[in-house]
Amino acid sequence: MKQSQSQMPKKDFFAPVKAWKFLGKKPVTIEVPNKVKREASERYRGFHINDWSKCIGCGTCAKVCPTDAIKMVEVPGLVQEDGKLPQRPVIDYGRCSFCALCVDICTTGSLQMTREYIHISDDPEDYIFMPTEKGIKAKRGLYEHGKAPLGWVKDKDSDLLDLERVLMEMVEPQERVRSFIEIVKGYSKEQAMKEAARCVGCGICTYTCPAHMDIPQYIESIYNDDLEEGLRWLYRTNPLSMVCGRVCTHRCESVCAIGNRGEPVAIRWLKRYIIDNVPLEEYSRILDINPEKKGKSIGIIGSGPAGLAAAYFLATMGYDVTIYEAAPRPGGVMRYGIPKYRLPDEALDKDIALIEALGVRILTNMKVGEDISFDEIAKKHDAVFLATGFGLGRSTKVPGTDHPNVKQALPMLKMIRDFLRGDGPKPPVPKKLVVIGGGNVAMDISRSMARLQMIEYGKVDVHTASLERTYEEMPADMDEIEEALEEGVKFYPGWGPIEIVIENDEVKGVRFKKCIRVFDENHRFNPQFDEEKQIFLEADMVIEAIGQAPDYSYLPQELQEKLEFFRGRIKTNEYGQTAIEWLFAGGDIVHGPDIVHGVADGHAAAKGIDLYLSSKE
């Protein structure tokens, strides 16, 4: 300051008088706006416009602004929905330096600049605006309101976002179809940090994630190379991060702000990177869980995603937790449903090991209703959480499905996994297989059987038919369909089974008719067929994978009568509490099959059980 002041010209005693001499001269300054208004250049960075129909309220413009001129303001009337936040930027033109960084980083391209550059007012209130499609109402400006032509807009060179994902290395199709090795190799540190750098931290994903994971926070931990902090972020909401880092339905990625113009951030692979790179021995030190014992006990039926998640959160609150599991190993669908090439046992073991280390008892080979009665469990514990999942398969019930070589996908997947871990016999491997179904389970069984066929006969002969008429319409993930195609599975979209053809007591194949519509106008499942168009697919085994159903036979009759059901699912409040106050439920039997939803349910139920037991004191 001092230096600059000393450089100011010294004031002359006659200066005021000298100024008078300019009185008679023509002014050098041009009055603006002049009679002839000068248009700004084509790429001028003038006042903003923001297309509200494109803007998702991600707030990236406010974050990048070097002069702190942009604030995100919630707009009453806009609603929070998947992929959108109900807020829009407000720009303070008293601060804005018109650098255009906000335009260059805008995730959707909704924010742009016009060539309007004149706005003259002596009222400071006129310098704050929430830009809309029409932009600023410029006073004494060049253009009519809303008519200013575009100036600076983002182009390939000025775009500040990295729209391309860091490629994940995968085992090649020809190699992976010969065994059950895990396909996805995982990111290296350099790859993970590069991918993490693509995230703009808007947090739109957190709303959509059923478990509301702190996604921007753990991605920032990766960027800062602080995986311990990353692990703590993961465990705040999801104790099955290893599993979810591999097989989550990743709805977060479908709403990622970067996905509006580019490839969404690989959130799932980044989560996996944290878990893959923190050794299990370090977990208890990093997470530092030492709850005060509450002296109350909770019984959980089922050790799938919901049961394990509930157990973890209850244990961290200080409850004594016991899980009853019918199968010989814990994990439910993660252990017996999802194929090994997507989720190896070791991944699941790591997640479960921490939960057991917290003192959770998992009693395996303990089928409720056979090895222990439900009443005994109810008597033993202060509250009970049901997380028994959808364990039964559904059948198309077309003629011939009662033949022993017409199988259900879930028991077959279980048999394959048991065989691979040495727990059971080799499943029967057909030379020609037809799979009925278009969801992820259909993909799992098609691809698992393709591998067994490759190992057994050296070639794949799997034909998978679904009612849905296109790959887009099929409920399976596109990745799954693509990878199955690469592995040699043949798809027949748009065909519904008529009958299983059986000759001399042997399965010969399946006859299908053309499906012309799956859902009716009310979006209800109501398929219609063109009976004239038919195909026949040869097979010596048929596997049905058209959906799963719950099995409530373990629940005593009088209890079932007290519970409320809706289309086979148990009705609960937001905390998983059923009509019976000490009985909670979650996972598939409440929300349908989805692992991360199960985790969210387990978390909600743990909170609910804690509220219920605290209120009883």
The tokens of 446 are what? 């098609």
76 binds another protein, rule: CB under 8 A: yes
Of 14-22, 87-95, 393-401, 453-461, the segment contacting another protein by CB under 8 A is 87-95
In the complex, the smallest distance separating the C-beta of residue 143 from another protein, rounded to whole angstroms, is 14
In the complex, the smallest distance separating the C-beta of residue 76 from another protein, rounded to whole angstroms, is 7
Q: CA torsion 561→562→564→568, rounded to 10°?
A: -40
Q: What is the distance between the alpha carbons of residues 569 and 586, in angstroms, rounded to a whole number?
A: 10
Q: Are 231 and 275 in contact (CB under 8 A)?
A: yes
Q: Considering only residues 43, 54, 75, 276, which one is a binding residue for another protein as defined by CB under 8 A?
A: 75
Q: Please, which residue, 92 or 486, has the CB nearer to another protein? A: 92
Q: Considering only residues 15, 38, 39, 73, which one is a binding residue for another protein as defined by CB under 8 A?
A: 73
Q: Please, which residue, 90 or 163, has the CB nearer to another protein? A: 90
Question: Is the bond leading into 430 cis (omega within 30 degrees of zero)?
Answer: no
88 binds another protein, rule: CB under 8 A: yes
Q: Considering only residues 61, 65, 204, 298, which one is a binding residue for another protein as defined by CB under 8 A?
A: 65
- Among candidate residues 297, 301, 299, the one with its CA nearest the CA of residue 367: 301
Distances (CA, A) of 425 to 7, 340, 417, 422: 92, 16, 10, 8
Strand 320-324 versus strand 361-363 pairing type: parallel
In the complex, the smallest distance separating the C-beta of residue 121 from another protein, rounded to whole angstroms, is 12
Q: What is the distance between the alpha carbons of residues 295 and 316, in angstroms, rounded to a whole number?
A: 13
Q: Considering only residues 9, 24, 124, 404, which one is a binding residue for another protein as defined by CB under 8 A?
A: 124
- Among candidate residues 88, 139, 92, 94, the one with its CA nearest the CA of residue 116: 139
Chain residues 176-195 in contact with another protein, contact rule CB under 8 A: none
Q: Please, which residue, 65 or 510, has the CB nearer to another protein? A: 65
HSE (CB half, 13 Å, CA atoms) of 112?
19
- Region of 542 (left: φ > 0; alpha: ψ -120 to 50; beta: rest) is beta
Chain residues 306-325 in contact with another protein, contact rule CB under 8 A: none
Q: Considering only residues 22, 32, 81, 94, which one is a binding residue for another protein as defined by CB under 8 A?
A: 94
Q: Please, which residue, 139 or 145, has the CB nearer to another protein? A: 145
Q: Please, which residue, 108 or 208, has the CB nearer to another protein? A: 108
Q: Considering only residues 54, 92, 286, 405, which one is a binding residue for another protein as defined by CB under 8 A?
A: 92
66 binds another protein, rule: CB under 8 A: yes
Q: What is the distance between the alpha carbons of residues 617 and 615, in angstroms, rounded to a whole number?
A: 6
Q: What is residue 23's DSSP assignment?
A: G
The tokens of 300 are what? 């959980």
Q: Are 394 and 525 in contact (CB under 8 A)?
A: no
130 binds another protein, rule: CB under 8 A: yes
CB-CB neighbours of 241 under 10 Å: 25
128 binds another protein, rule: CB under 8 A: yes
Q: Considering only residues 37, 139, 145, 361, which one is a binding residue for another protein as defined by CB under 8 A?
A: 145
In the complex, the smallest distance separating the C-beta of residue 569 from another protein, rounded to whole angstroms, is 40
Phi, psi values for residue 2, rounded to 5°: -60, -50
What is the greatest pairwise CA distance in the chain? 122
Chain residues 1-20 in contact with another protein, contact rule CB under 8 A: 1, 4, 7
Q: Please, which residue, 127 or 419, has the CB nearer to another protein? A: 127
Q: Are 514 and 485 in contact (CB under 8 A)?
A: no
The tokens of 372 are what? 């222990």
Q: Please, which residue, 137 or 459, has the CB nearer to another protein? A: 137
Q: Are 325 and 306 in contact (CB under 8 A)?
A: no
Q: Considering only residues 37, 38, 134, 533, which one is a binding residue for another protein as defined by CB under 8 A?
A: 134
Of 85-93, 206-214, 226-234, 371-379, the segment contacting another protein by CB under 8 A is 85-93
Chain residues 367-406 in contact with another protein, contact rule CB under 8 A: none
410 binds another protein, rule: CB under 8 A: no
Sites of contact with another protein (CB under 8 A): 1, 4, 7, 52, 65-68, 73, 75-77, 88, 90, 92, 94-95, 124-125, 128-134, 137, 145-146
